[in-house]
A and B are shown apart, each in its own frame.
Chain A
Amino acid sequence: MVASLVSLMSIVAFAGPASASGESVGSCVAEKFEESLHHHGESDHVTSDDIHHVAHDEAVQDELEACLEAPSPILPELTEIIWGGAAFLILLVIMVKKGFPAVKGAMDARSEKIRADLDAAEQAKTDAQTVQSDYEAQLADAKTESARIIEEARVTADQLRTDLSAQAEASIAEMREKAAADVEAQKAQAIADLRAEVSGIALGAAERVVQSSLDADAQARLIDAYIDEVTGSNG
């Protein structure tokens, strides 16, 4: 493509203007005059009379003046119409078939890509916002949940403490009561044991003192009276 362009350019650049290629007014006049002389003279030999005659011929003068008349610049030249028209037609075919769709297609594809990218970015932003709000909601839920759990734990702990405290107090009271009962029982037992021991000793002592035997009822009355006496004196 570049090579053909360069070669085309070089041809155009080297093409000379009409005047430079021998189509000037001077060359036109010389050509026409020579032509008229040939028409005028019978032989190849041209005399000064011939030149004089031809130079003063009005028809020849008109013909020479035509050299000064330029062709109409507004009338198009057939060869240029053919080449220009063909060139435009060729370019139109190339552009319609290949050039224009390729460039426009690339432009549309780019526009489409940019639009798609913007849409995708917008979508991503929306998604991110959704995710963010989801996270925020979850975070809020988690906070509520944790507060609830903490509150529940606190309530449970309080309850547990109250329960344990009550249980401990109950145990202590029970133990205290049991201990008091034990003490009472042991005290009663000790008193009973002591009473039996003392009665035995007192009986033996009384027997030895009076040396007389008493019946069982009399002994029992005597012992009780003794014990009461002892108890009353101790208490």
Chain B
Amino acid sequence: MNVLALDFPPITHLFEWPDILFNGTWYALNKTSLIYLAAVVITSAIFLSAGRKKTSLVPVGVQHVAEAGVNFIEESVVMETIGPEGKKYMPFLTTMFFFILFSNIFEVIPGIQFPANSRMAVPITLALVVWLIYNFVGIRSQGLLGYFKNSLFPPGVPKALYLIVTPIELVSTFVVRPFSLAIRLWANMVAGHLLLVTFAILTAALWDATYVGAVAPFAMLVLMTGFEILVSVLQAFIFTILTAVYIGGSLHPAH
């Protein structure tokens, strides 16, 4: 195996994929884009087939997956952060959760082993969509002036502190938020992918060299694969719950 040393590509080549179709065009398709499409197909397949099934008292198979997902979003995300009025955002939040989850989980699928969200495209796109939505919701529910007043001058803060709080709120709410949201997801998936790649390469190299030496990195590889499944789910959940928190914050300025 010649993956080490000179022929090993620079680190970003672990994330950049060549075009498969439509080479050189603005709509060129690569592995990352295919994973996004696969996430669409899988999520749609689960929900459409679950919705087509006759309602049984005890849900089974994909119906259970879909219903557990919806229930999870409803109970652990929407009701915890927005409340009953947040239920109208459930289709959006559910879509976002499953889309991110399936884009992430390909990190540990054999033969694919790449988290699509370790590329910045979808995290930043979704984060900007979230930014637009929570600002729109805030302006719609509190009015333009009311929204900016409540965001920049949070009620209950001593007036003198506005000198410090207002610039911080301005930067954090309107500038940093989408980037922190995107980078959190992206960086976690990058780190996870690098960890798995590192231990995979280490295992291969030590297997070639000593056989026995490969045991420890291989054990770590297995351990990290399990850990990355957790991270994939957790990051999808965090992205979704933060979106709900931002929407909830725009709906209820006092909180």
Chain A: residues with CB nearer than 8 A to chain B? 1-2, 4-5, 8-9, 11-13, 15-19, 21, 23-26, 68-85, 87-88, 90-92, 94-96, 98-107, 109-110, 113-114
Contacts and interface: CB of A to CB of B under 8 A. Distances in A.
Contacts of B14: 17
Nearest to A12: B34
A113 to B, nearest CB: 8
Given A9-B112, A87-B40, A100-B90, A18 B34 contact: no
Interface stretch (B64-72, B142-150, B159-167): B64-72
Contact of A12 (B8, B38, B66, B183): B38
A106 to B, nearest CB: 5
Interface in B182-216: 183, 186, 190
Contacts of B106: 12
23 contacts: A12-B34, A15-B17, A15-B20, A23-B9, A23-B16, A25-B9, A73-B190, A80-B122, A81-B125, A83-B121, A88-B36, A88-B129, A90-B40, A92-B91, A92-B95, A100-B47, A103-B51, A104-B70, A106-B63, A107-B67, A109-B55, A110-B57, A113-B55
What DSSP secondary structure best describes chain A's contact surface? helix
B105 interface: no
Q: Most chain-B Cβ atoms within 10 A of its Cβ — which of A81, A90, A104?
A: A104
B172 interface: no
A117 B11 CA distance: 60
B7 A12 contact: no
Contacts of B219: none
A99 B94 CA distance: 10
Nearest to B126: A88
Contacts of B120: 73-77
Q: Most chain-B Cβ atoms within 10 A of its Cβ — which of A5, A73, A87, A88?
A: A87
B36 A83 contact: yes
Contacts of A82: 26-27
A70 B12 contact: yes
Contacts of A18: 9, 13, 16-18
Contacts, number: 214
Interface size class of chain B, counting residues whose CB lies under 8 Å from the partner chain = 35 or more
Nearest to A9: B38
Nearest to A4: B41
Contacts of B31: 12, 15
What DSSP secondary structure best describes chain B's contact surface? helix
A11 B34 contact: yes
Nearest to B49: A1
B25 to A, nearest CB: 8
B68 to A, nearest CB: 10
A146 B106 CA distance: 83
B95 A80 contact: no
Q: Which 8 A-B pairs have the closest CB atoms?
A: A102-B51, A99-B47, A83-B33, A80-B121, A70-B12, A19-B9, A84-B122, A76-B120
Contact of B18 (A23, A78, A105): A23
Nearest to B43: A91
B104 to A, nearest CB: 13
Contact of B33 (A84, A98, A100): A84
Contacts of A94: 40, 44, 47-48
Given A12-B35, A70-B13, A94-B48, A79 B29 contact: yes
Q: Most chain-A Cβ atoms within 10 A of its Cβ — which of B14, B19, B41?
A: B41
Contacts of B49: 1
Nearest to A105: B51
A79 B69 CA distance: 30
